Chain A
């Protein structure tokens, strides 16, 4: 009984700490925006418009649509959604390929010896340098962008999966073997859960790489998308517009990372010790 009340008190105090921490974070954030506003108003530089102006431009840009489209403007459908789709689509393909291939290679004793150096080399290639190759292969369009994203995002996932699969506790390996666990159960219920923390570290890294490559590929060769809008607003000297795209990319990066972290916390709840590296 006392244990239960103790637990409740602890939970309550944790919740209180969480809420006050949340409030403090937002207070600091609001303070920072206020300082930013003041500084930009004082500096009055055309390159750095005050945040209030950025927000006004962004609102005009994104939320000026008719009610039938939930007030979202054409820009959202023409540029933002395709960009997010390419980013997440390329990342999802990289996840499937990376985890699948990584599991297979991690279980094989000699597989990695054949392809290890090759993959280490591929990972070391800065993905933007392959944009011209993908551009002639797939043309100017989503194919090139998705290919670039997959190429950049797959290696952290693949190599982390190999690492994770390799690190399965040998007692578990022996136990499963002595019970003659069938291969699908063995992979699905022993190997992958043990590898998940490592895989998630790879997923987080590759998600931010996907976002970066989405922007790079759109900056270089695209007819629509956030990156394309960003560079064209810079070329037209529409600085508040340019800033609203930068802010949007920041929100996207923050949001995608937060969602993935929430999923990770949920999926890995059973883990006794969570190490949050990477």
Chain B
């Protein structure tokens, strides 16, 4: 209970400092409006249909992108993780594709698939595939050999070993990868909307609001909403993960 009060105190303290800094004139009000104004703009925007439509467009693109990346990366990771020669054969390609910052591909993707929702989904998938893929491969490499040997000694079939030993072991790591990818996919979706001036979406809303330079309250309101979406996604996945993998002690340790 006490920690909840402290959480709230921290949040309120931050808003008070922000409000004070603007009111005293440390930050020009035109550039950074006080939180009271930003929050009321946020509430107002949430009642407007076009804004809600933008939010839905962003969240939908994010969800589709994450779904596609899971559908690509988990099977690919299982394949690469369990077949050694395939892993060696593709390592160089993977190692040279991965470090390309996904945003560097924005201009190319815009040319090839256009500026529609496909562009942001393509880019988000490109960026979100790697953490899931690497966590899956890593998880399969880390399986305790004793577990595998025991299963083999009991005459377990290869398919059964994959489903009953390897998959349960890998699942928490894969889930950690999915959580990292979820955050990255959201960044990519919003960035693409912002950079490419997509026809809808939160990033596009921020771009349009900022183009005049006078609607900074709307820009910040958009940022707040984007932050809340990101927070809800992260927190929600963390909760789901904790519930699903209660039996596994590695979840707490797995990378954030």
Contact = CB atoms under 8 A, between A and B. Distances in A.
A29 interface: yes
Interface string A216-238: 10011000000100110110000
Give the bracket for the number of chain A residues in contact with chain B.
35 or more
Contacts of A24: 88
Given A114-B7, A219-B195, A249-B101, A29 B227 contact: no
Interface in B1-57: 2-3, 6-7, 9-11, 13-14, 27, 30-32
A219 B102 CA distance: 13
Contacts of A136: 30-31, 213, 216
A249 B233 CA distance: 29
Interface string A158-179: 0110010000000000000000
B107 interface: yes
Interface in B205-237: 206-207, 209-210, 213, 216, 219-220, 222-223, 226-231, 233-235
B111 to A, nearest CB: 5
A253 interface: yes
A32 B206 CA distance: 40
Contacts of A133: 31-32, 216, 219-220, 223
A29 B92 CA distance: 5
A5 interface: no
A128 B187 contact: yes
Interface of A: 21, 24-26, 28-29, 32, 47, 110, 113-118, 120-133, 135-137, 156, 159-160, 163, 201, 208, 211-212, 215-216, 219-220, 227, 230-231, 233-234, 242-243, 245-246, 249-254, 257, 275-278
Interface of B: 2-3, 6-7, 9-11, 13-14, 27, 30-32, 88-93, 95-108, 110-112, 135, 138, 173, 176, 183, 186-187, 190-191, 194-195, 202-203, 206-207, 209-210, 213, 216, 219-220, 222-223, 226-231, 233-235, 253-256
24 contacts: A24-B88, A115-B10, A117-B10, A121-B228, A123-B234, A124-B230, A127-B187, A129-B202, A129-B223, A130-B223, A132-B210, A135-B210, A136-B216, A159-B256, A216-B195, A219-B103, A219-B195, A220-B194, A230-B104, A250-B101, A257-B99, A276-B138, A277-B255, A278-B256
